Structure 1
Amino acid sequence: MPHSVRRERARDSGQVALEYLGFLPVLIIVAMAAVQLGLVAYTAQQAGTAARAGARGASLQQSAQEACTTAVSDWLADGTDCPPSYGGDEVTVTATVAIPSVVPGWDFGDATRTATMPLDHRADE
């Protein structure tokens, strides 16, 4: 193989490494966006679970807040709020769970879900 061809290939491989380093920040941003989207979806699912558990607990004359925080993942429990609302023969619980962020300083708000269940009148008897 001629000496000039080897020198040209070596120069090309250095160019590929520089192009990869230039594209690396774009790949990191796309990966972080995918992780954040997964966190949003997971938190919304956990809010639904918390609302149903809180409504069931409140329908049995137990603490809706305790049932909600027990139903969600431990690392989401501190940012969970589940106030019950009684009306007629049913209770409605709206669970609000703070969405964690992978980017410090960015706030993605809260995931909110609502569940309604009938009150269990057997506890009154």
Structure 2
Amino acid sequence: MLEFAGFLPFLLVIGMAAIQLGLVGYGANQAGSAARAAARAESLNQGTGGAAAAESASAWLDPTPDGCGGGSTITCTVTVHVPAIIPLFDGWDLHRRATMPNDNQNDGS
């Protein structure tokens, strides 16, 4: 029993680190999905990328579109904040970028 009590803090830290790694992976996935949704919405209808990014990611990750660039392709960047569950950490900001062809661009025909 005494050996288990001495080893328990290490098991808890390893378990929390595994959960934190899963949260970071989930946050990266959500940021990528939000960036793709923002780029696609922006390529179809100018000005709707930010709303599409906010709707396509989990609200607790606080998705923030960093703007979309125009031209023949639309590139959007989205930042999400992954909270830390391990004490002494502040969390992480993850950035993902997606590019889509601009469907609204006039091809001259």
TM-score range, shorter chain: 0.7 to 0.9
Aligned match of 2:83: 100
Aligned match of 2:55: 70
Give the superposition deviation at 1:105.
Answer: 4.6
Matches within 5 A, 1:69-88: 69-76=54-61, 79-88=62-71
In structure 2, stretches of 5+ residues that fail to align are none
Whichever structure has more helix as a proportion of its residues is 1
Alpha-carbon contact 2:28-2:94 (below 8 Å) kept: yes
What is the RMSD computed on CA atoms of the aligned residues?
A: 1.9
Aligned residues between the structures: 105
Whichever structure has more strand as a proportion of its residues is 2
Instruction: Report the TM-score, using the length of structure 1 for normalisation.
Output: 0.75
* 4+ residue runs over 2 A deviation: 83-87
Aligned match of 1:89: 72
Question: Aligned with 1:88: secondary structure?
Answer: coil
In structure 1, stretches of 5+ residues that fail to align are 1-16
Alpha-carbon contact 1:55-1:84 (below 8 Å) kept: no
Give the number of the structure with larger relative contact order, counting CA–CA contacts within 8 Å between residues 6 or more apart: 2
Q: Whose radius of gyration is greater, 1 or 2? A: 1
Residue 18 (structure 2) pairs with residue 38 (structure 1): no
Give the superposition deviation at 1:115.
Answer: 0.5
Instruction: Report the TM-score, using the length of structure 2 for normalisation.
Output: 0.85
Distance 1:75 1:87 in 2: 29
